[in-house]
Structure 1
Amino acid sequence: MLELLSVTAGYERGNPVVRDVSLTVAPGEAVGLLGPSGCGKSTLARVAALLHRPDSGRVVIDGEPARGWRHRAPREQRTAFGVVFQQPRQSADPRLRLADLIAEPLRATGLRPDDRVAELAATVGLGPDLLPRRPHEVSDGQLQRACLARALALRPRWLICDEMTAMLDASTTAALVTVVEAYRKETGAGLLAVGHDRQLMERWCDRTVEWGVPATGG
């Protein structure tokens, strides 16, 4: 179980972007976090993925409280999450080839990429001809496929998809959602999907939590 308990985070002009919010995601469950831009849902997603330290409240992962944030989180908790962000060009090092982008988490944890990169690329629909290219040489959709492959590299127990498809066309959106769903079916991973497209969230997720009033940030 992934639990966010009474989380307050992301102060902006003296006011929290997220105030006293609790949310749970069960293993194998897909939960959609639906709301307009600026309502704080991305901030909450980053807290859930241990990328943003809350001002108060707790994150509990499989019964164990989070013991750190970002690079200070212990490896076993940090690698439990795979995260895909809205804007792939902001989350990808422009100097890296797509093959190296996908291999990043494997190398960071001391694993040899070997054939795993080619396997991951094929899983997300990237042909071998694209792997030597750098981000400026591919489309947004192709780059987001590589970012999803990177998120799946360590076989995470929890996926956080923060507006993953917001910048993509309908066919690429459908392809990436299909990859995520196949991974969840295979592994039993839980999913927190953030978005503002009600139709997509309700079609994709087991249940949807609606975020109400827009605030500054997130």
Structure 2
Amino acid sequence: MLELTRITAGYDRRDPVVREVSLHIATGEAVGLLGPSGCGKSTLARVAALLHRPDSGTMSLDGTVIRGWRHRAPQEQRTAVGVVFQQPRLSADPRLSLRELIAQPLRATGRRRDVPARVAELAPLVGLSDELLDRRPHAVSDGQLQRACLARALVLRPKLLICDEMTAMLDASTTAALVAVVERYRTETSAALLAVGHDRVLLERWCDRTVRWGDRSARNAPAASG
């Protein structure tokens, strides 16, 4: 489903944060990427989400080699991946209501007619009431906003979901609720999951296997476990 081969990436070619990393995720598989802060996990996740072009290496998604990232990637490839980031307030437009936030990907891909039905379907699934949907980010909690961000990531029915420290800022009950939403979606669609984090217990309970990444001084390919 997702194949990353010898990926090197970063923001300074002289000192990349990801060096020669290879990772495979099969259709329907949940893989946890475990490692300390600053080791390059999020950079690799952004490469996998088509948001950051690697300096070298190859990537294929659902059997197709990726040749463009961000706006240069075909829409079919961009919409095959849904992403939830660690800090919802940095990934949400403060001018939009939660309803509009969830609908963003549909509007961006010309599927405006699908907005009412998909928002109505996803809002109760992630635990958002009609009253909350009409609020803007400043008027809701981090947990409520992250629920909307998860709904946004699911709205186009992606084949691969990437959760980059999705629950790092949430309490235990909200974490459990959002993980349950992801697992229900995966059960219904056979979507693959890449869950990035530093909580070993959570990742090992959530995922089929966990890939452990070394610290920043040993930024080479992670080794699989589990």
Give TM-score, length-normalised by structure 2. Answer: 0.93
1:1-218 equivalent positions in 2, closer than 5 A: 1-12=1-12, 14-111=14-111, 112=113, 113-214=115-216
CA contact (8 A) 1:67 1:74 kept: no
Cα distance in 1 for residues equivalent to 2:68 and 2:12: 23
State the 4+ residue runs in structure 1 displaced beyond 4 angstroms. Answer: none
Deviation track 1:128-165 (CA, whole Å, cap 9, x = no partner) reads: 11011000000000000000000000000000000000
Deviation track 1:23-80 (CA, whole Å, cap 9, x = no partner) reads: 0100100000000000000000000011000000011011111131011110000000
CA contact (8 A) 2:13 2:55 kept: no
Q: How many residues align?
A: 217
Secondary structure of the residue that 2:32 maps to in structure 1?
Answer: strand
Matched residue type, 1:75: Q
Matched residue type, 1:162: D
CA contact (8 A) 1:67 1:73 kept: yes
Deviation track 1:109-138 (CA, whole Å, cap 9, x = no partner) reads: 111202211211111111111011000000
- Larger deviation: 24-33 or 117-126? 117-126
Cα distance in 2 for residues equivalent to 1:203 and 1:116: 30
Secondary structure of the residue that 1:16 maps to in structure 2?
Answer: coil
Q: How far apart are 1:11 and its partner, in Å?
A: 4.0
CA contact (8 A) 1:39 1:214 kept: yes
Q: 1:201 to 1:115 in 2, by over 3 A?
A: same
Cα distance in 2 for residues equivalent to 1:13 and 1:4: 19
- Larger deviation: 62-71 or 165-174? 62-71
- Larger deviation: 6-15 or 187-196? 6-15
CA contact (8 A) 1:30 1:207 kept: yes
Cα distance in 2 for residues equivalent to 1:13 and 1:31: 28
Q: Tell me, which stretches of 5 or more residues in structure 1 are unaligned?
A: none
Matched residue type, 1:193: A
CA contact (8 A) 1:36 1:196 kept: yes
Q: How far apart are 1:207 and its partner, in Å?
A: 0.2
Deviation track 1:163-214 (CA, whole Å, cap 9, x = no partner) reads: 0000000000000000000000000000000000000000000000000122
Secondary structure of the residue that 1:114 maps to in structure 2?
Answer: helix
Secondary structure of the residue that 2:138 maps to in structure 1?
Answer: helix
Identity of aligned residues (%): 77
